[in-house]
Amino acid sequence: MANWQCVKQCGACCNLDPAERPDLEEYLSPAELAQYLSMVGEDGWCINFDHSSRECSIYPNRPRFCRVEPETFQDMYGVEPEELDDFAIDCCREQIEGVYGDRSLEILRFNKAIGF
């Protein structure tokens, strides 16, 4: 089993375009959904995403739904801790391929980092 990890110079999951995430209401509380929508910029990217560094400008204070942590994923998606790596890897792949493409440098770097 591969271990999930976030790679630098990605940020694909900070593209929050709700049109690409039709099931938001299934895993976010009403308050979180409001917070999520308040963070979506006109271009679909999170307003807290720094495009030059490709990093989160509020990282220590980012919302719960931005955190890849066992408790969060169990609460939001019903994923057991032992399934977290596989689930998070699938999420990242889907998001990276959707934002940057399935032959992008970003997906190549992610696959390499997790050992695929």
Binding site for ligand SF4 (CB under 6 A): 6-7, 10-14, 16, 39, 46, 48-49, 56, 58, 62, 66, 92, 95-96, 110
CB of 52 to ligand SF4, least distance (A): 13
CB of 27 to ligand SF4, least distance (A): 15
| Residue 55 vs 74, nearer CB to ligand SF4 | 55
Tokens of 94: 């889907």
Tokens of 56: 């989160």
List alpha helices for the chain, DSSP H.
Answer: 24-27, 30-38, 70-77, 84-100, 105-114
| Residue 50 vs 74, nearer CB to ligand SF4 | 50
- Greatest CA separation for the chain: 38
